[in-house]
Amino acid sequence: MTDTKRGITAEDLYQICYPSEPQLSPDGTKAVFVETKMDELRQYQSHIYLYSLEDNSKTALTSGPFRDSFPRWSPDGSKLCFVSNRSGKAQLWHLDVNETEFKQITNGPNGISSPVWSPDGRSIAFAAFLRTGQTLTEGTEELTEEATPKSITVDKMKYKSDDSGFVYEKNKQVAVVNIETGSVTQLTEGTYDHAVGSWSPDGKWLAITANRSVNPDIQHEIDIYLVPVEGGEWKKITNSDGTYAMPTFSKDGKKLAFIGSVADQHLYATMKKIWVAELDAGTVQCLTADWDVHVGDATIGDVRSPGHPNPGAVWTTDGQGMYVIASEKGSSGIYLVHLDGSVTKVVGGERNVYGFTFDNEKNSLVMAVSDSLTPGDLFHVDLNTETEKRLTDVNGELFQEIRLSTPEEIWYEGAEGWNIQGWILKPVGFQEGNTYPAILQIHGGPHSMYGHTFFHEFQLLAAQGYVVVYTNPRGSYGYGERFVQACCGDYGGNDYKDLMHAVDYVCQFDYVDETRLGVAGGSYGGFMTNWIIGQGNRFKAAVTDRSICNWISFYGVSDIGYYFSAEEIQANPFENPEKMWHHSPLRLVANMETPLLIMHGERDYRCPIEQAEQLYMTLRHRGKAPVSFIRFPGANHEMSRSGDPEQRVLRLQYTVDWFNQYV
């Protein structure tokens, strides 16, 4: 039988879409969700869809060249709100389920996000960026680039962010809007960022999060507060000893569950846990202190942008526990954490659950799931019958014509005999007896996790005839706290060895041509790519994306530089510059002879482009190996996942061309 399917291309990215943010109606008969795709102008659009679980129909509730998100049912299921930029900035919109017209509810000057319905269905809490002194009722004055002053006085350390740009003059405030009258009450103010959590069941309190420390530049703690909606004294629930998020009230209003970690010396290199506050007793307890698993979805892919609204902790109806997403050994699933600290896996499997939602009675759930061959789809789970049904196949038509490669899981011995998990993707059309070049891919973070999720770039390389090897070296999530922290202070040490052992491992296979190896990675993965080519000439070509090469300058130019390097490199430029330099790949330039493609976004405030410039300039000056430098104007650190679609496709094409030329 002839195989009429083709390998995936870079341009297929324009066709790939994914659902997110499923929201089951309170009675469990229907779900709304967001579907994101690119239009014919290669711009993102996201729309709200309604899926009827009674007749399995899917209806678009919104359309047009807009970004619609955050669909949320009112508590009685008769209304929906969502956030949309259809009038310019992202504002809150409202839709009566039996009508087709929707109406705009907010008019915040810089847009809003994260709506949460009040229990009586009359109001919605939300978050809005506001300048100091600016209010939500000031009309539609916008903070545009043109409004940027001729000079900017920087007077704090956290003055820019890769996500939001220059944040020196804006803060995130929490407000409540009455959906009938449109009147807005701003609940928070000041030079602090606040985030909406949940309403108390009696509608009197809002649980929010904020860092309101004296010096947020160096105090990174985020606390949970209860704010009285009608005004009055706030209650501080946590004790400025960690970073806590997504508080949710139990049904009886007596407890709050939230997700977070205690801030000792680790902000990034630590796993998130579940916490419960007993509000009358004033106690806070970590429920999962003995569960060595990260709460949250740590899986890294390249189709969806990370950080989709996470459901947080969802209480059971009897208030005896809560459902959360957690990440283990390359998979993320849904777990039930009981108040006594015991944990039951509710939805498992070799896949990446990146969103879920329950009906009111917790009889059923709808979840958003990706796996190695599926960018994302929705599934319905009946918890009584324990049956699962696929609801969508959003890329079905496209993927019918594409031949994908199915990854094979490997476990191999890393440095110090540690057991390391990884995957091998054989080339599309693989034939026994042939040999193939291989590419080692290295994820960023370093605290994230490769796993059972779709990776377009890997499939593209497999379609181009490469074996793709990707593993979770120490520093990754999914293997416990000790594993996550093991790279701190040792960048380029045992993490590097874990990766090299992966290469040794795959080179044992007859089908791998060990004289034709390539290496690629982004961010921390880019740091490691630079480090690897500084160790010798094992690889024929390398692609380094949004990378770091010099920790001394990274410290001062990255939005997180001064505290990230304290934790991860365990040094700073004024106390131990030798250590900063020791872990900097730029130190190794004299050894670098591997053809290197450097790609970097010009608006990357996480790993600013000066890192790429330093590497490019020194390699060119030395002149020992081909080096090419691609700058992406306007692109930030997230470009490969959620950036300009054409830039994303170009980046993939440059990668393939480089490996095809040199490996």
Ligand X SMILES: CSCC[C@H](NC=O)C(=O)N[C@@H](CO)C(=O)O
Give the residue carrying structure tokens 């009906």: 359
Stretch that binds ligand X, among 208-216, 236-244, 411-419, 440-448 (CB under 6 A): 440-448
- In the list 352, 370, 448, 636, the residue contacting ligand X (rule: CB under 6 A) is 448
Cβ proximity to ligand X, 286 vs 650, nearer residue: 650
Helix (H, G, I), strand (E, B) or coil at 582: helix
Candidates 326-334, 519-527, 614-622, 628-636; binding stretch for ligand X (CB under 6 A): 519-527
- Measured from the CB atom, the residue of 128 and 586 that comes closer to ligand X is 586
Strand order in the sheet with 184-186: 112-117, 123-131, 170-178, 184-186
Task: Say if CB 21 and CB 368 are below 8 A apart.
Answer: yes
Nearer to ligand X, 32 or 569 (CB): 569
Query: What sign does the CA torsion over 650, 651, 655, 661 have?
Result: positive
Taking the complex as a whole, how short is the minimal distance between the CB of residue 445 and ligand X, in angstroms?
5
At closest approach, how far in Å is the CB of 608 from ligand X? Answer: 11
Least Cβ distance, residue 594 to ligand X (angstroms): 21
User: Could you tell me the smallest distance in angstroms from the CB atom of residue 304 to ligand X?
Assistant: 12
Smallest distance, ligand X to C-beta of residue 558, A: 7
Nearer to ligand X, 427 or 444 (CB): 444
* 374, 523, 550, 611: which one binds ligand X (CB under 6 A): 523
Work out whether 527 is an interface residue with ligand X (CB under 6 A): yes
Closest C-alpha among 614, 621, 647, 618 to residue 632: 647
Q: Is 445 in the site for ligand X (CB under 6 A)?
A: yes
Given a contact cutoff of 8 angstroms between Cβ atoms, the answer to whether 45 and 66 are in contact is yes
| Residue 555: closest CA among 543, 541, 540, 566 | 566
User: Per rule CB under 6 A, is residue 478 in the interface with ligand X?
Assistant: no
Q: Bridge partners of 248?
A: 257
Euclidean distance between CA atoms 88 and 111, whole angstroms:
9
Task: Please identify which of the residues 250, 331, 476, 523 carries the catalytic annotation.
Answer: 523
| 3-state secondary structure string across 522-535 | ECHHHHHHHHHHCC
Taking CB under 6 A as the binding criterion, the range among 106-114, 330-338, 444-452, 497-505 that sits at the site for ligand X is: 444-452
Distance of closest approach, residue 454 Cβ to ligand X, in angstroms: 16
Please, what is the minimum distance in Å from the beta carbon of residue 209 to ligand X?
20
> Which is nearer to ligand X, 75 or 489 (by Cβ)?
489
Cβ atoms of residues 309 and 316 within 8 Å: no
423 binds ligand X (CB under 6 A): no
Which residues 528-587 are close enough to bind ligand X by CB under 6 A? 546, 548, 564
The binder of ligand X chosen from 216, 311, 422, 444 (CB under 6 A): 444
The nearer residue to ligand X, 162 or 377, going by C-beta atoms, is: 162
523 tagged catalytic: yes
Q: Kindly tell me which of 31 and 533 has the beta carbon lying closer to ligand X.
A: 533
Binding of ligand X by 477 (CB under 6 A) = no
Among 19, 71, 311, 522, binds ligand X (CB under 6 A): 522
* DSSP type of residue 12: G
Structure tokens at 220: 């990174």
Strands (E), 110-187: 112-117, 123-131, 160-161, 165-166, 170-178, 184-186
Sheet holding 223-228, edge to edge: 194-199, 205-210, 223-228, 235-236
Candidates 228-236, 443-451, 460-468, 470-478: pick the segment binding ligand X (CB under 6 A). Answer: 443-451
Of 380 and 583, the one with the shorter C-beta distance to ligand X is 583
Give CA separation, 153 vs 142, 159, 563, in Å: 20, 10, 22
State in angstroms the smallest separation of the CB of 227 from ligand X: 30
Rounded to a whole number of angstroms, the minimum distance from the CB of residue 653 to ligand X is: 20
Residues with Cβ within 8 Å of 638's Cβ and at least 6 positions away in sequence, in order, are 162, 163, 305, 306
DSSP letter, residue 246? E
Of 365 and 607, CB closest to ligand X: 607
Spell out where 504-650 has E strands: 512-522, 541-545, 596-601, 627-632
The site for ligand X, by CB under 6 A, has a size of 13
Of the candidates 570, 571, 529, 519, the residue with the CA atom closest to the CA atom of residue 549: 529
Eight-state DSSP code of residue 222: B
Taking CB under 6 A as the rule, which mask of x and - marks residues 286-325 in contact with ligand X? ----------------------------------------
CB-based contact 461:468 (threshold 8 Å): yes
Among residues 33, 524, 539, 605, the one that binds ligand X under rule CB under 6 A: 524
Residue nearest to ligand X (CB): 444
Residues 584-613 that bind ligand X (CB under 6 A): 606-607
Whichever of 206 and 569 has its CB closer to ligand X, that residue is 569
Task: Report if residue 353 touches ligand X, rule: CB under 6 A.
Answer: no
- d(CA 249, CA 74) in angstroms, rounded, equals 17
49, 53, 47, 48: which is closest to 30 by C-alpha?
Answer: 53
Kind and range of the H or E run holding 60? strand 58-60
Catalytic residue among 294, 447, 600, 637: 637
Helix 456-463 × helix 645-662 angle, to 10°: 40
Residue pair 166/160 in contact (Cβ under 8 Å)? The answer is: yes
Is 627 a residue that touches ligand X (CB under 6 A)? no
Q: Which of 637, 659, 662, 663 binds ligand X (CB under 6 A)?
A: 637
Supply the minimum distance, in Å, between the C-beta of residue 443 and ligand X: 6
> 112-117 and 596-601 as β-strands: parallel, antiparallel, unpaired?
unpaired
Least distance in Å: CB of 642 to ligand X?
11
Please, what is the minimum distance in Å from the beta carbon of residue 64 to ligand X? 31
456 binding ligand X? (CB under 6 A): no
Least gap, CB of 607 to ligand X (angstroms) = 6
- Residue with Cβ nearer ligand X (7 or 444): 444
| Phi/psi at 452 (5° precision) | -85, 70
Q: Given the structure tokens 């970073």, which residue do they identify? A: 243
Q: In residues, how long is the chain?
A: 663
Work out whether 643 is an interface residue with ligand X (CB under 6 A).
no
177 or 298, CB closer to ligand X? 298
DSSP string computed for 86-105? EESEEEEEEEETT-S-EEE-
Here's the x/- map for ligand X, 479-518, by CB under 6 A: it reads as ----------------------------------------
Instruction: Tell me the residue ranges of DSSP E strands in 436-565.
Output: 436-442, 467-471, 512-522, 541-545
Minimum CB distance to ligand X smaller for 295 or for 487: 487
Q: For residue 107, state whether it binds ligand X (rule: CB under 6 A).
A: no
Distance of alpha carbon 508 from alpha carbon 592, whole angstroms:
26
Q: How many CA atoms lie within 13 A of 395 on its CB side?
A: 26
Alpha-carbon distance 211 to 163, whole Å?
Answer: 18
Catalytic residue numbers read 523, 637
Q: Which residues here bind ligand X, judged by CB under 6 A?
A: 444-445, 448, 522-524, 527, 546, 548, 564, 606-607, 637
